[in-house]
């Protein structure tokens, strides 16, 4: 397809007009993003299911699927941010799209710089901490995010900074799978998305401190080829 920069964020453009697709694609790739394309809505939805991108840029005027349907069908199971592009400037349509689950709405013709800025906003990840509830409990494990306290079977466990960051991330995701990339970006910062071995070592340490057996883990579950998730 294109120069696939490994470690880069993946964006999916769902757009039938070849011209706009190319234009947006080139701009995004210049910023170092990996870009996939879909000409049709069904194709876009399938791609999201098979290999979820980090952001979807959606044209509302697709030939096969109604734009609002697309948003609703994706939102039925996924929280991937959606940025809508549209020629129609009607306020009603904007409101409908946003309420259906779109995260932003840009009207054509648009400035490419603004589009890029809005993409950056949607990929920014400061939102997670806001949603984090203070206390997590599951059989045997108890994590107090506010106090930075961890207990396993009633006994306190002291974790290092990174170990706690990883556990906090898993806790905040409520059992959702986190990909290696996601974890690396959030715990080590962007630029370390390929250092998967860091993660392995850290998970090893954390499991050891939690007394978790990797073959039959109680807490941190391995999802082969994808990442890790917390048992809830």
Partner DNA sequence: GATAATTTTTATATAATGTTTATATATTGC
Partner DNA sequence: GCAATATATAAACATTATATAAAAATTATC
74-133 residues in contact with its own copies (CB under 8 A) are 75-79, 91-92, 94-95, 98-99, 101-104, 111, 113-114, 116-118, 120-121, 125-132
Q: Exactly one of 169, 199, 206, 210 binds its own copies (CB under 8 A); which one? A: 169
- Asked whether position 42 contacts its own copies by CB under 8 A, the answer is yes
Nearest distance from C-beta of residue 205 to DNA, angstroms: 7
Closest distance between its own copies and the C-beta of residue 214, in Å?
A: 14
Please give the residues from 43 up to 72 whose contact with its own copies meets the rule CB under 8 A: 45-51
Q: How many residues bind its own copies (CB under 8 A)?
A: 72
223 belongs to the binding site for its own copies (CB under 8 A): yes
Least separation in angstroms between residue 121's CB and DNA is 27
In the complex, minimum distance from the CB of residue 54 to DNA, in angstroms, rounded to a whole number: 18
Residue 215 engages its own copies in binding (rule: CB under 8 A): no
By CB under 8 A, residue 182 contacts its own copies: yes
Q: Which is nearer to its own copies, 15 or 163 (CB)?
A: 163
The Cα–Cα gap between 58 and 104 comes to 10
Exactly one of 145, 150, 184, 206 binds its own copies (CB under 8 A); that residue is 145
Burial of 144 (C-beta count, 10 Å sphere; 0-12/13-18/19+): middle
Least distance CB 213 / its own copies (angstroms): 17
């Amino acid at each position: 397809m294109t120069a696939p920069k490994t470690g880069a964020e993946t964006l999916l453009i769902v757009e039938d007009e070849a011209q706009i697709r190319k234009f947006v694609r080139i701009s995004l790739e210049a910023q170092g993003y990996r870009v996939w394309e879909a000409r049709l809505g069904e194709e876009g939805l399938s791609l999201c299911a098979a290999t979820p991108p980090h952001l979807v840029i959606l044209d509302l005027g697709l030939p096969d699927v109604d734009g609002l349907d697309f948003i609703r069908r994706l939102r039925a199971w996924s929280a991937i941010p959606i940025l809508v592009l549209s020629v129609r400037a009607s306020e009603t349509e904007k409101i409908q799209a946003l309420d259906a689950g779109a995260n932003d709405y840009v009207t054509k013709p648009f400035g490419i710089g603004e589009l890029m800025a809005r993409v950056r906003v949607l990929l920014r990840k400061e939102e997670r901490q806001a949603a984090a509830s203070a206390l997590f409990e599951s059989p045997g494990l108890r994590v107090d995010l506010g106090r930075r306290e961890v207990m396993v079977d009633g006994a306190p466990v002291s974790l290092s900074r990174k170990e706690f960051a990883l556990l906090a991330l898993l806790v905040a995701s409520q059992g959702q799978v986190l990909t290696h990339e996601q974890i690396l970006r959030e715990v080590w910062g962007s630029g370390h998305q390929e250092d998967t071995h860091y993660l392995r070592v850290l998970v090893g340490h954390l499991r050891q401190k939690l007394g978790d057996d990797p073959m039959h883990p109680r807490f941190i579950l391995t999802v082969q080829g994808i990442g890790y998730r917390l048992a809830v």
